[in-house]
Amino acid sequence: MRRLLEMTGIAKSFGGVPVLTDVSLTLEAGEVLALLGANGAGKSTLVRILSGALQRDGGSIFLDGEPVAFDRPEDAIRAGLRLLPQEISVLPALSVAENIFMGDLPMARGRLLPRVDRTRMRAEARRLLTELGLEVDPDRLVGSLSAPERRIVEIARALAGHARVLVLDEPTAALTESEIRRLFRVIATLRAQSVGIIYISHYLDEVFAVSDSIAVLRDGRNAGRFATREASHEAVVLAMLGVRMEGLYPPVIGSSGEEICSVERLGLRGGQGELSFQIRAGEMLGMFGLIGSGIEMVGRALYGALGPIPGASMRLKGAPYRPIDPRTAQARGIGFVAAERKEEGIIPDLSLRENITLPFLSRYRDGLALSRERQRADVKHWIERLDIRTRSGEQPIRLLSGGNQQKACLARWLIGGMHLLILEEPTRGVDVGARREIYAALRTLVARGLGVLVISADAEEIAGLVDRVLVLARGRLAGEFAHGVTAAQLLDAASPAVGAA
Amino acid sequence: MSSTGDLDRRTATAPRSGLSALLRGSRAGVAMLLGFYVLVLLAFTLISPWFFSFKNMMSIGANMSFIGLMSAAQTPLIIAGGLDLSVAAVAGLAGVIVAQLHAAGLPIWPAAAVALLAGGLVGAVNGLFTTRLRLNPLIVTLGVMSVVTGLALVLTGGLTAPLIVAGFNWIGSGEVAGLPVPLLFTVALYVGLGWQLANTPFGRFVYAAGGNPEASRLIGVPVERTLMVLYIFSGVVGAFSGLVLAAMLGASAPDAAGQHLLTVIAAVVLGGTSLFGGRGSVWGTALAVLILGTLDNGLTLMDVSSFWQNVARGIVLLLAVSLDQIRTRALGD
B317 assigned to some structural domain: yes
Distance from CA of B276 to the nearest CA of A (A): 13
- Measured between CA atoms, how close is B167 to chain A, in angstroms? 33
Given this model, what pLDDT does residue A387 score? 87
Residue of chain A whose alpha carbon sits nearest to that of B5: A350
Residues A330 and A222 in one domain: no
| Closest residue, chain A, to B222 (C-alpha) | A327
Which CATH number belongs to the domain containing residue A129 in this structure? Answer: 3.40.50.300
Q: What is the pLDDT of residue A256?
A: 72
Q: How far is A37 from chain B (nearest CA, A)?
A: 29
Residue B56 counted as domain residue: yes
Q: In angstroms, how far is CA A136 from the centroid of its own chain?
A: 32
Distances (CA, A) of A69 to A55, A56, A60, A66, A76: 9, 9, 8, 10, 8
Reported for B198-202, long-range contacts at CB under 8 A and 24+ positions apart, including other chains, are B198/B5, B198/B6, B199/A368, B199/A369, B199/A370, B200/A368, B200/A369, B200/A370, B201/A361, B201/A362, B201/A364, B201/A365, B201/A370, B202/B226, B202/B229
pLDDT of residue A134: 85
- Same structural domain for residues A313 and A197? no
| Reported ipTM exceeds the 0.90 cut | no
Share above pLDDT 90 across residues of chain B, in percent, rounded to a whole number: 66
Q: Is residue A295 part of a domain?
A: yes
Contacts of residue A395 in chain B, CB cutoff 8 Å? 12
Query: Which of B6, B211, B219 is opposite residue A348, by nearest beta carbon?
Result: B211
List per-residue pLDDT tens for chain A, 501 residues long: 578 999 999 999 876 678 899 999 999 999 999 998 876 688 888 998 999 988 999 999 999 999 998 988 889 988 999 998 877 888 989 999 999 998 778 887 777 777 888 889 999 999 999 888 888 999 999 999 888 888 889 989 988 888 999 999 888 876 777 778 888 988 999 999 999 999 998 778 889 999 999 999 988 899 999 999 999 888 888 888 775 555 778 888 766 788 999 999 898 876 677 899 999 999 999 999 987 788 889 999 999 999 888 888 999 998 999 999 999 999 999 999 998 888 899 999 899 999 999 999 988 998 888 999 999 999 999 999 888 888 889 988 988 888 889 999 999 998 777 899 999 999 877 776 788 889 999 999 898 889 999 999 888 889 989 999 999 988 889 999 999 898 889 988 988 655 443
Contacts A–B by Cβ distance under 8 A: 96
The predicted pLDDT at position A500 comes to 42
In a domain, A348, yes or no: yes
| Residue B210 maps to a domain | yes
CATH number at residue B202: 1.10.3470
- Cross-chain Cβ contact A348/B217 below 8 Å: no
- Report CB contact under 8 Å: A361, B8: no
φ/ψ (deg, to 5) at A455: -110, 120
Q: Is residue A222 part of a domain?
A: yes
The pLDDT assigned to A254 comes to 67
Is the Cβ–Cβ distance between B48 and B302 less than 8 Å? yes
Task: Nearest by CB to A350, from B12, B199, B211: name it.
Answer: B211
Do A327 and B199 count as a contact with CB atoms less than 8 A apart?
no
Q: Choosing among A337, A358, A409, A413, which should be mutated to test the B contact, i.e. which has the most B CBs within 10 A? A: A358
User: With an 8 Å Cβ cutoff, are A346 and B204 in contact?
Assistant: no
A440-449 pLDDT, tens digit per residue, is 999 998 988 8
Gap between the Cα atoms of A417 and A404, Å rounded? 21
Residue (of A447, A439, A436, A401) closest to A423 by Cα position: A439
User: Each residue of A392-414: b (16+ CB within 10 Å) or e?
Assistant: bbbbbbbebbbbbbbbbbbbbbb
A351 → closest Cβ in B7, B201, B216: B7
User: Residue A253: inside a domain, yes or no?
Assistant: no
pLDDT band at B183 (very low <50, low <70, confident <90, very high): very high
Which of B11, B199, B222 is facing A370, going by the closest CB pair? B199
CA distance B246 to B94: 9
pLDDT at B235: 97
A266 and A227 in a single domain? The answer is no
Q: Do A203 and A319 have their domain in common?
A: no
Shortest distance between the Cα of B226 and any Cα of chain A, in A, equals 14
**E strand spans, chain B:** 161-162, 175-176, 179-180, 251-252
Other beta carbons within 10 Å of A483: 17
Q: Judging by DSSP bridges, how do beta strands A369-370 and A420-424 pair with one another?
A: unpaired
Q: Which residue has the higher pLDDT, B29 or A271?
A: B29
Angle at B118 between CA B117 and CA B123, to 5 degrees: 95
Chain A positions in Cβ-Cβ contact with residue B13 (cut-off 8 Å)? 391-392
In a domain, A251, yes or no: no
User: What would the mean pLDDT of B180-202 be, rounded to a whole number?
Assistant: 95
Domain contains B10? no
* Per-residue pLDDT tens digits for B280-333: 999 999 999 999 999 999 999 988 888 898 898 889 888 877 877 777 666 544
Instruction: State whether A164 and A270 are in the same domain.
Output: no
Q: How far is A298 from chain B (nearest CA, A)?
A: 14
Is the domain of A225 the same as that of A323? no
pLDDT tens for A257-291 read 889 999 998 988 766 778 999 999 999 999 999 87
In a domain, B23, yes or no: no
A215 and A310 fall within a common domain: no
| Residue A355 near residue B278, CB atoms below 8 Å | no
Task: Judge if A267 and A412 occupy the same domain.
Answer: yes
Among the listed residues B169, B176, B188, B149, the one whose alpha carbon sits nearest the alpha carbon of residue B65: B188
Per CB-CB distance under 8 Å, the chain A contacts of B214 are 343-344
A266 and A242 in contact (C-beta within 8 Å)?
no
pTM for this predicted structure? 0.77
State the smallest CA–CA distance between residue A351 and chain B in angstroms.
Answer: 7
Pair A326, A183 in one domain:
no
Question: Is A343 in Cβ contact with B200 (below 8 Å)?
Answer: no
- At residue B8, the pLDDT reads 37
- CB distance from A350 to chain B under 8 Å? yes
3-state secondary structure of B176: strand
Domain boundary among A194, A212, A241: A241
Confidence of residue B2 (pLDDT cuts 50, 70, 90): very low
**Do the Cβ atoms of A392 and B4 come within 8 Å?**
no
As a whole number of angstroms, the distance between CA A70 and CA A48 comes to 11
Total number of domains constituting chain B: 1
What pLDDT band is residue B143 in, cutting at 50, 70 and 90? very high
CA A151 to chain centre: 19
Let me know if residue A500 belongs to a domain. Answer: no
pLDDT at A279: 94
How far from chain centre, in Å, is Cα A220? 17
CB B255 within 8 A of CB B153: yes
**What domain range is B134 assigned to?**
29-41+50-327
Residues A33, A73 within the same domain? yes
Cα A237 to Cα A225, A234, A498, B126, B295, distances in angstroms: 12, 5, 18, 56, 70
Q: How many angstroms separate the CA of residue B280 from the nearest CA in chain A? A: 11
Domain-embedded: residue B260: yes
Residue in A347, A355, A363, A375 to test binding to B, most B beta-carbons within 10 Å? A347
pLDDT at B328: 66
Does some domain include residue B17?
Answer: no
Pairing of strands A365-366, A451-456: unpaired
Amino acid at A501: A
Cβ distance of A368 and B6 shorter than 8 Å:
no
- Domain that includes residue A269, residue range: 259-494
Asked if A396 and B4 come within 8 Å (Cβ–Cβ), the reply is yes
The domain boundary, picked from A181, A214, A241, lies at A241
Residue A95 DSSP symbol = B
Please count the structural domains in chain A.
2
* Claim to verify: residue A297 and residue A417 sit in the same structural domain: yes
Note the pLDDT tens digit of each residue in B213-243.
Answer: 999 999 999 999 999 999 999 999 999 999 9
A324 Cβ under 8 Å from any chain B Cβ: no
Q: Which of B299, B309, B286 is nearest to B50 (CA)?
A: B299
**Chain A residues whose beta carbon lies within 8 Å of the beta carbon of residue B204:** 350, 354, 358, 361, 370
In a shared domain, residues A294 and A198: no
